[in-house]
Amino acid sequence: MDVTLVGGGRDTAAAPTLFGPFVAAAGPGAVIACVLVDEADDRPAPPWLRAYRRARRLDPFGRWSRLLTAAGPCRPVPVQIPSGGRLDVAALDGAAGLFVAGGLTPDYATAFAPVRADVLAWLARTGAPFAGYSAGAAIAADRAVIGGWRSDGVPICDEEAGERLDEVTVTDGLGLVPALVDVHCAQWGTLPRLLAAARAEAAAGRPTEGWGIDEDTAVHLTDGAVTVLGRGRVHRLAPGPDEIAVEHFASAERLPYPRVPQPQPETAD
Half-sphere exposure of 218 (CA within 13 A, CB side): 24
pLDDT of residue 43 exceeding 70, the answer is: no
* C-alpha angle 157-163-167 in degrees, rounded to nearest 5: 60
CB 33 within 8 A of CB 98: yes
pLDDT in the model for residue 48? 59
pLDDT in the model for residue 60? 76
CB 204 within 8 A of CB 196: no
Domains annotated for the chain, with CATH where assigned, are 3-255 (3.40.50.880)
pLDDT in the model for residue 237? 97
DSSP letters of 108-150? HHHHHGGGHHHHHHHHHHH---EEEETHHHHTTBSEEEEE-SE
Local structure of 195: helix, strand or coil: helix
How far lies 71's CA from each of 25, 27, 76, 118, 213, in Å? 12, 12, 12, 28, 20
pLDDT in the model for residue 239? 87
pLDDT of residue 46 exceeding 70, the answer is: no
pLDDT in the model for residue 4? 98
pLDDT in the model for residue 132? 98
Question: In this predicted model, what pLDDT tens digit does every residue of 125-172 receive, in sequence order?
Answer: 999 999 999 999 999 999 999 999 999 999 999 999 999 999 999 999
- Residue 192 confidence class, pLDDT cut points 50, 70, 90: very high
* Confidence (pTM): 0.90
pLDDT in the model for residue 36? 96
pLDDT in the model for residue 50? 58
pLDDT in the model for residue 266? 47
Q: What is the mean pLDDT of the chain?
A: 91
